[in-house]
Amino acid sequence: MNEPEHQQDAAATAHSPAPQNQRMPVIFVGHGSPMNAIEDNAYTRHLAAWAQQLPRPKAILAVSAHWLTPGRTQIDAQPQPPTIHDFGGFPEALFSVQYPAPGTEAVAQTTLEILQAHFPLVRLSRDWGLDHGSWSVLCHMYPEADIPVFQLSINYAEAGEYHYAIGRQLAALREQGVLIFSSGNITHNLRVLDFQAPESARASRAWAQEFDDAVWQALLTRNDAALIDYVSLSPAAKMAVPTPDHYWPLLYVLGAAAADEAVQQTYQSFQAGTISMRCLQFGASA
C-alpha cells in the first residue's frame, strides 16, 4: 500500500511571529471530508505540523469552497463568527465541534477597501461565519482558535479570471500579517468516491490521477493561464471537476502569489480514492 507523501521542515521555529516587514505566505489546503476534523490521520497530523512552520499570522482570511454567493463577493465581518455545520449524515461528535475564533471587523474593512477599488460590488456581510471548509482545517492548524479569522465568499456567477483577479488584489494583505488561506480540492467528484480505497499517494481512478498531475505540472511551471482555464488542462477535467466550487479556491492563492514565487507542495494524497488532498504554499519556506 502506498503511503501519503508529505514534507516537513523540522528546523522551522514553531509559531514564530512574522517580522513586520515579512510577507506572509499564501496556502491552499485540500480539505476533503468533514470527518477529518475529528480524525487522527497522516493528513491531520500534517496540518498541525505545517502550522508550526508558518509565521504566526495576525489574522487569517479564509476562502472556502462552501461559501458561494452568486452575483457578489462578500466579506464576513462578524466579531464572533459562528461555527457552521453545513453538512448532514455525519456522527453527532462532528456536529458538536465548535471553532470559537474571533473575527476581525477592522481587517475585513481593510479588505473591503482594497477590493472595492477594482470590484465595486464587493460588500461586507454578517450572515455567514466559519463553514467546515475553514474550521475542519483550522482546528488542527490552530487548535487554540486564538487567531482572528474571517471568510471571503466565492462569487459563483463569475469565471476563473475573476477569482484569480480577486486574489491579485488580496495579495496586499500579505504585507499586513494576514495569512491568505484557501480551502477546496483539486479533484472533487462526490458521485464517484471509492470508499474502499485507503488514503494513498495514488488515486484509485486514472482520471483523478491524470487531472491532479496536470494541475501540479502547470503549478510547477507557473502556467497560471492554463490553471485559470482548467478544462483545457486535461480530458479528465470534466470528471475531476464536475462543478468548479472546490477548484476555484486554488485560483485565489495563485493570484495572491507573486510571479517569482515557486509553488511548494507540503502534502499530497488521495482520500476516498479520488479526492486530491494536495496542499500547497507560496512564499516563505514550507
For the stretch 114-140, pLDDT in tens is 999 999 999 999 999 999 999 999 999
What are the b/e assignments for 217-226, b being 16+ CB within 10 Å?
ebbeebebeb
pLDDT digits (tens, 9 = 90+) for 21-59: 679 999 999 999 999 999 999 999 999 999 999 999 999
Separation of alpha carbons 233 and 221, rounded Å: 13
Share of the chain above pLDDT 90, in %: 89
The pTM (predicted TM-score) of the whole model is 0.91
**β-strands 59-68, 149-154: how paired?**
parallel
Q: How confident is the model at residue 160 (pLDDT cuts 50, 70, 90)?
A: very high
Q: What is the H or E stretch that residue 112 is in?
A: helix 105-116
pLDDT above 60 (res 15): no
pLDDT digits (tens, 9 = 90+) for 207-235: 999 999 999 999 999 999 999 999 999 99
Asked whether 170 and 180 are in contact (CB, 8 A), the reply is yes
Domains of the chain in sequence order: 5-282 (3.40.830.10)
Share of the chain above pLDDT 70, in %: 92
Question: Across the chain, where does the E strand assignment appear?
Answer: 5-6, 26-30, 59-68, 74-76, 123-125, 149-154, 178-184, 263-268, 270-271, 275-276, 279-282
pLDDT above 50 (res 14): no
